């Protein structure tokens, strides 16, 4: 199967070097024109090939990104002599139908300086707003002599309560006699009762 070619005649291979340390070099490589093909990756130094490995390591993060079936990772363990010249090492990917592509290091997009300054300013403004809210919530501090005045007031109230407790109790109110209405009503009831008794006595006499 022929490899897909870019306008300049080189094979189209997607990939990059993600990690380059003194111990290893790793990354991924994928050929969209031959998705089932495992790209051969070469580790080179000064034009010579140090090692060759297929990009066939399973990578779970590649599938969601649309990189084939995900099995397109590679890794080279570096010998001490290779690690000593780490900046001079190159990683080249070979296409199924021939041709090679130099795999670039992974690019990290850094925010422009103006955006960094804007983010810092927003953080500072947010912190200032938070401090203002906290100061509004904290109660106002009392005057230096406020606690002493409060203690004197409490002592005065305690003495007042003690004096009120020592006052003699009020004498009980004298019993009140019946008023005029109660006397008239009682007299009327007595007369009615007397009249009823006299009438009942007359009935018995007859």
> Higher-confidence residue: 181 or 90?
90
Confidence check: pLDDT of 49 > 90: yes
Mean pLDDT for the chain? 74
Q: pTM score, two decimals? A: 0.48
Percent of the chain with pLDDT over 70: 50
Beta bridge partners of 90: 44
Residue 185 CB: number of other CB atoms within 10 A?
11
Domains identified in the chain and CATH numbers = 14-102 (2.60.40)
Read off the pLDDT of each residue in 94-122 and give the average, rounded to a whole number: 70
Confidence check: pLDDT of 111 > 70: no
| 125 vs 142: CA distance, rounded Å | 30
User: 125: pLDDT confidence band, cut at 50, 70 and 90?
Assistant: confident
Residue 96 CB: number of other CB atoms within 10 A?
19
Beta bridge partners of 42: 52, 92
CA 21 to chain centre: 36
pLDDT for 3: 38
- pLDDT single digits (tens) 58-96: 999 999 988 999 999 999 999 999 999 999 999 999 998
């Amino acid at each position: 199967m022929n490899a897909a070619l870019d306008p300049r005649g080189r094979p189209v291979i997607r990939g990059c070097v993600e990690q380059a340390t003194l111990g290893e070099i790793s990354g991924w490589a994928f050929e969209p024109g031959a998705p089932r093909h495992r790209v051969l990756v070469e580790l080179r130094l000064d034009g010579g090939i140090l090692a060759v490995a297929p990009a066939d390591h399973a990578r779970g993060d590649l599938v969601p990104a649309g990189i084939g079936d995900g099995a397109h990772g590679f890794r080279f363990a570096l010998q001490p002599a290779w690690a000593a010249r780490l900046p001079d090492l190159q990683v080249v990917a070979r296409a199924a139908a021939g041709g090679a592509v130099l795999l670039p290091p992974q690019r990290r997009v850094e925010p422009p300086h103006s955006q960094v300054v804007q983010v810092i300013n927003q953080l500072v403004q947010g912190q200032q707003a938070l401090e203002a809210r906290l100061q509004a919530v904290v109660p106002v501090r009392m005057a230096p002599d406020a606690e002493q005045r409060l203690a004197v007031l409490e002592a005065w109230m305690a003495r007042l309560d003690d004096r009120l407790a020592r006052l003699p109790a009020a004498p009980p109110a004298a019993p009140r006699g019946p008023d005029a209405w109660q006397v008239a009503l009682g007299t009327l009831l007595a007369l009615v009762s007397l009249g009823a008794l006299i009438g009942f006595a007359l009935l018995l006499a007859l």
